[in-house]
Structure 1
């Protein structure tokens, strides 16, 4: 948990619940899973949450409620965006509803903050948010968690169970390929939320989000907030770290173009480990400097480069002859940067003050 975060689209992380399990290909190189099984494996909040395998630490499915961190946002007075359960999933299979109630109670008691909840368990999130008594449980848990004296003395605000969904909570789903988008986005569209968002990170394949949203609209899905577009924010990013898989520039462009045309804020988080040379061309001297910075010798380290063919097929070790093929170099997240066609996209939803 950190009051400041290096994640580009948030200000702080809050981990009242840690632990998770692998549910789809986007989980394979999870940074939180690796940390829980290496540098943090002896810390109480992570101990026993992973097991050693031939490919490194893997989640066991065990989850943990970290009581000492539960009320942390109440002590942060300066408003900030807070990524909830960055080292787990609030709606993971083994997380009891009671724990989720307590997390939502804290979020209700801290209206100065914006909480960003991101899950791969979209169905469970939708089921939880549409329970009839969720707001009433929130009120009861707010009093229990914070203490009635703190509420009465004005040290924290009153939870208002009639305001549901909570206006300071953004709900999102991760979708790395078309399959995950097809499964999760319709559930998100049926979930009441102040802001709904999608994170396509790591983006591992071409996704047509417009098709999913059009199908849901045609089927008569209603959106409680009355917005003209059901998604309030779109995040895209490539994979970083050891074993990172490359991302085709055109996958990103399609999502950017579709959502910006619809007036939806678009946030491009990173290329990740792989940098597409043609997408962000550099003068020869700067290109050579970038490769040297990443300690790459192009002539001998073929595994650290590859190209995309016209059929989106990744061909490792090769260099593209001409567009529409693209050459990508594995130079690391920092060197690859965040520019998409020379532009940094860092848009956030606009919310009423």
Structure 2
């Protein structure tokens, strides 16, 4: 059905990129333009585990979600190490969000800014879609109510 509905956009997210290849349809080729399969990486250890597998997959769009962002994440090895034939990064989009809900862990705004800078430097689109419930900015801890987390992230002005 997904292949037949090229008039619709499909967006799927996984933390198990090692399972993607075995579940792609036979006529997948290098992916379909209307389908995005994204991978989540909540910290550097998971980025180092998941991104080499994910970025080697035949996907039309490679999108990385760092959510919930629990530590600093350096994407430079994956931006520099995985390039398209035209020299552009294989990663086309990065989205970041802090953790929400009871018991949410801290997200440091400097981590968000660092990934944003890596994306800007390499022409990768970026979206900061949610602060999370606990955000450190300039050394101060903010407890942000759920209803304001998206609005406050948008006010940061980091989206490209």
Using structure 2 for the length normalisation, give the TM-score: 0.87
Among 249, 259, 262, the alignment partner of 2:109 is: 249
Indicate if the aligned counterparts of 1:203 and 1:239 stay in contact, CA closer than 8 A.
Answer: yes
Among 327, 336, 344, the alignment partner of 2:140 is: 327
CA deviations over 1:151-197 (Å, ceiling 9, x no partner): xxxxxxxxxx6x64122111210000111000111111101111110
Greater relative CO (CA pairs within 8 A, separation 6+): 2
Matches of residues 33-52 of structure 1 in structure 2 within 5 Å? none
The answer for the alignment partner of 1:175 in structure 2 is 41
> CA–CA distance in 2 between the matches of 1:340 and 1:117?
23
Say whether 1:119 aligns with 2:7. no
Residues 173 and 337 (structure 1 numbering): CA distance in 2 closer, same or farther, change over 3 Å? Answer: closer
Among 194, 197, 200, the alignment partner of 2:63 is: 197
Among 223, 234, 238, the alignment partner of 2:94 is: 234
Deviation at 1:226, TM superposition (A): 4.9
**Structure possessing the higher radius of gyration over alpha carbons:** 1
| Richer in strand (by share) | 2
Indicate if the aligned counterparts of 1:126 and 1:190 stay in contact, CA closer than 8 A.
Answer: no
Indicate if the aligned counterparts of 2:94 and 2:119 stay in contact, CA closer than 8 A.
Answer: yes
The answer for the alignment partner of 2:121 in structure 1 is 261
Matches of residues 1-353 of structure 1 in structure 2 within 5 Å? 106-129=1-24, 134-135=26-27, 164-214=30-80, 216-217=81-82, 223=84, 226=86, 228-276=88-136, 279=137, 326-339=139-152, 342-347=155-160
Deviation at 1:124, TM superposition (A): 1.5
Indicate if the aligned counterparts of 1:176 and 1:201 stay in contact, CA closer than 8 A.
Answer: yes
Indicate if the aligned counterparts of 2:37 and 2:63 stay in contact, CA closer than 8 A.
Answer: yes
> CA–CA distance in 1 between the matches of 2:59 and 2:135?
35
Q: Secondary structure at the match of 2:107?
A: coil
> CA–CA distance in 1 between the matches of 2:155 and 2:147?
16
Residues 332 and 339 (structure 1 numbering): CA distance in 2 closer, same or farther, change over 3 Å? Answer: closer
Indicate if the aligned counterparts of 1:126 and 1:188 stay in contact, CA closer than 8 A.
Answer: no
Residues 328 and 231 (structure 1 numbering): CA distance in 2 closer, same or farther, change over 3 Å? Answer: same
RMSD: 2.4
Q: How many residues of Structure 1 are paired with residues of Structure 2 in the alignment?
A: 160
CA deviations over 1:10-35 (Å, ceiling 9, x no partner): xxxxxxxxxxxxxxxxxxxxxxxxxx
